[in-house]
Each structure stands twice: as structure tokens, then as C-alpha cells.
Amino acid sequence: MDKLQEVYSAIPHREPFLFVDEIIECDDKRILCKKTFTGNEFFFKGHYPGFPIVPGVLQCEAALQAGAILLTRIFKDEEIGGRLPVVAKMGEVRFKQMVQPGDTIMMEVKFREKMTGVYFLRAKVTLNGKISTQFDFACALTERPNI
């Protein structure tokens, strides 16, 4: 299975709102994914003209997508059963450096615990080995719509 197909099989996100290019490593507690911003992404035209940067919320979205992949890998069909992990809460969000066209970020997400159907995780986005964004988040499961 090619790298992008592996991502497609885990989450429903597609272009232009897919922010995971590749799964680098994954085990039962942690995932490491990568995303390269080419400069052709839709948001660069308006954020900001003449000085394009990746919005911080899209760095968060990249890590959230990596977290969804991790949950589908950890819990597979026995618990997820075709449902989708959706964000229920984010906290302690910190933005430490800018990401620009041509940059490659790494998203590391660690599973912390599950309590009453809610999954708690910690995300760290790095650029050139330095933290760009970090935050805690929680996901709950929702039924997939029949589209």
C-alpha cells in the first residue's frame, strides 16, 4: 500500500483538507506523521499575501488528523466500528514558530487515556526538530453519515 493510500484508509479527509502526507511510525500509544506544505495550498493566497504562513489552526488540524489515524489503529473495528473520531476539546495550545511554504512538519501524537468513551491525547508539531505547536485534545466517536 502506498503512503497516501495508507492515510486514506484510516481517515475520511481528502484534498484540499488533508494535512497528513505520510505515516512515519505508529504503535499502540504513539504516531508520527509528516506533512510538507508546497506553497500551492488554498489558504496561502489570503494568509498572508506577500508573507504566506500556515495558520496555527491548520497545524492543529494536521495533528488532529494524525490523532484520528492513531485511534483507528489502536482500537480498530472492535471499538471504533466504522465511527469517526471527532474533536471534543482542545487545551493548553501553544504556538512557538511559524511554518511557511516549503516547510515539512512532523506531527507526533500520543494516546494518554480513555475515560467514558472519550479519548485523551497530546500533540506536538515540530519544524526542523523544534516545537512549532503543542496541545492536548480529546476525541469522541460519532456515526459516519451515509453519503
Catalytic site includes residue 13: no
pLDDT tens for each residue of 40-66: 999 999 999 999 999 999 999 999 999
The rounded mean pLDDT for the chain is 93
On the question of pLDDT at 145 being above 90, the answer is: no
- Domain that residue 23 falls in: 3-142
- Asked if residues 109 and 63 have their Cβ atoms less than 8 Å apart, the reply is yes
Catalytic residue among 13, 30, 47, 122: 47
| In-domain check, residue 22 | yes
Domain count, the chain: 1
On the question of pLDDT at 78 being above 70, the answer is: no
| In-domain check, residue 147 | no
| In-domain check, residue 81 | yes
78: which 3 cell numbers? Answer: 472492535
